[in-house]
Amino acid sequence: MDIPAISQYEQALKFRALRNQVLSSNIANADTPNYKARDVSFADAMGSARHESLNMTKTSELHNNAWGTTSDGTRTSYRIPNQMTLDGNTVEVDVEQAEFAENALQYRASLAFLDGQIRGLRYALKGGD
């Protein structure tokens, strides 16, 4: 049985876990020359869960993807830095840290909502107790 109230938060949790991974790669590569910071967009991930995203049609396998696509279909795109660095690295650690903290908080929020849903269902099953 697929309970919409639960699967919706499951989607959100999956996205937050993916973004945690992408942002941690950015912070880990803060000192790597020529590394380009990446991110995934929430609107994009949730949009592609509802309808097909607007990808360009590929008529050959040799065509480059306009965006990188993660295994679950979420696009990763490059972040535009506020300031350039000489070694070609576009990671700004303060920005990434803020995003990482925000993402962790959102993950916790989704967990709390999911926990609430489970508690509600359990309450209903027990007939209130």
Partner 1 sequence: MSLFKVFDVAGGAMNAQSVRMNVTASNLANAGSVSGDPEKVYRARQPVFSSFNESMAKQTGVAGVRLDGVVESAAPLLQIYQPDNPEADVDGNVYATNVNTVEEMVNMMSASRSYKNNVEMINTTKDLLLQTLSLGR
The whole-angstrom distance between residue 27's C-alpha and the CA centroid of its chain comes to: 15
- Count of residues in contact with partner 1, rule CB under 8 A: 38
Q: Which stretch binds partner 1 (CB under 8 A): 44-52, 53-61, 100-108?
A: 100-108
- Binding to partner 1 by residue 25, rule CB under 8 A? yes
When asked if residue 69 is in the footprint of partner 1 (CB under 8 A), the reply is yes
Give the C-alpha distances (Å, rounded to integers) separating 124 from 5, 10, 50, 86.
Answer: 14, 21, 29, 60
Residue 113 contacts partner 1 per CB under 8 A: no
Taking alpha carbons only, the member of 98, 113, 101 closest to residue 11 is 113
In the chain, which ranges are continuous DSSP H helix?
Answer: 4-28, 42-50, 93-126
| Side chain identity, residue 17 | A
Q: Is 55 in the site for partner 1 (CB under 8 A)?
A: no
Does 76 bind partner 1 (CB under 8 A)? Our answer is: yes
Binding footprint of partner 1 on the chain (CB under 8 A):
13, 17-18, 20-22, 24-25, 27-35, 38, 40, 65, 68-71, 76, 93, 97, 100-101, 104, 107-108, 111, 114-115, 118-119, 122
